[in-house]
Amino acid sequence: MDIDLPYYLFWASVISGAIWAADSWFFKPKRLAEAQGKAQVDAAANAAVSEPVLVEYARSFFPIFLAVFLLRSFVAEPYQIPSESMVPTLDVGDFILVDKYAYGLKMPVFDLKLTEGVPPARGDVMVFIPPHDPRYFIKRVIGIPGDTVRYENKTLTINGERLKYTFVREFTDSQFGMPAREYIETIDDVNHLMHRTRRPERAQTWNIGPGEYLVMGDNRDHSADSRAWGLASHDNVVGKAIAIWAHKEPGWHWPSFDRNRWLEQGSHE
């Protein structure tokens, strides 16, 4: 998630479109006039022969650049999961589809807000830019504006109510080499799997203000999230992850589609 593709697509569309337009309005008529003056040939055929290579490429790629830019900026965008922070919900190598319309549209590059959308809800899997890093992050929304959230002994309490945890299984954490457990964590109406170990962690409390969101990874002891760098800002929200559409293991492996599914979302009522 390191490349700001909409930025490059925007400028590729602008530059290729400008080259094509400049040639169509100024240079092409001059070429036609010169060709007609030198010989009585079909003007369109002569123009095709004499069109500069740069203009030909610009004319061919402009509609492609523009279509991809509009699709990825205003409808949906694919991302690949780079880390283990959202295991077991999202594995490394999962390709996810992000709805750019859900939380309101923004004009890429200029960061202009075009539509309001609905605010993120507890339980949503959200893509955003954190306050400490220009790259895109993906985490689960735990707390929304107005919430008081307490994290202690590996459990969450929101506005005085402890979340429900249903034990699934026990396993050995590969990184820490200690026992770990998988639970179903229920936040509002969203049930999702999460992992936690017995690794010590200090208790924290957050009072979430307007335009702020508390976010955490489902793999709690392998996630750099709001516990480390603070709250996510609504101004830097990119979109809502809505589905896994493919998966690719590292190395020379073909993508597979056995993990394809929709992601359960929070309630926006």
User: Predicted confidence band at 160 (pLDDT cuts at 50, 70, 90)?
Assistant: very high
Over range 20-45, report the average pLDDT: 67
Going along the chain, which residue ranges are E strands? 76-80, 94-99, 106-107, 112-113, 125-128, 137-143, 148-152, 155-158, 161-162, 164-172, 179-187, 190-197, 204-207, 212-216, 232-233, 237-247, 261-262
Domain edge (last residue) among 52, 74, 96: 74
Nearest alpha-carbon partner for 151 in 126, 176, 187: 187
Sort strands 112-113 and 106-107 into parallel, antiparallel or unpaired: antiparallel
Q: Which residues, listed in sequence order, are joined to residue 260 by a DSSP beta bridge?
A: none
Pair 108, 239 in one domain:
yes
Q: Per the domain annotation, does 267 fall within a domain?
A: no
Pair 207, 97 in one domain:
yes
User: Predicted confidence band at 47 (pLDDT cuts at 50, 70, 90)?
Assistant: very low
Pair 187, 63 in one domain:
no
For residue 1, pLDDT over 50 is answered with no
Higher pLDDT pick, 97 / 266: 97
The alpha-carbon radius of gyration of the chain (Å, integer) is 25
Choose the catalytic residue: 73, 85, 223, 226.
85
Phi, psi (5° rounding) for residue 138?
Answer: -130, 125
For residue 159, pLDDT over 60 is answered with yes
Choose the catalytic residue: 28, 100, 139, 240.
139
Q: Which residues, listed in sequence order, are joined to residue 171 by a DSSP beta bridge?
A: 180
Determine whether 100 is an active site residue: no
Determine whether 85 is an active site residue: yes
Question: What is the domain range of residue 241?
Answer: 76-262
Sheet holding 190-197, edge to edge: 164-172, 179-187, 190-197
Pair 38, 142 in one domain:
no
Helix (H, G, I), strand (E, B) or coil at 50: helix
Domain edge (last residue) among 25, 48, 74: 74
Q: Give the span between the Cα atoms of 4 and 2, in whole angstroms.
A: 7
User: Predicted confidence band at 54 (pLDDT cuts at 50, 70, 90)?
Assistant: confident
Pair 184, 255 in one domain:
yes
For residue 141, pLDDT over 50 is answered with yes
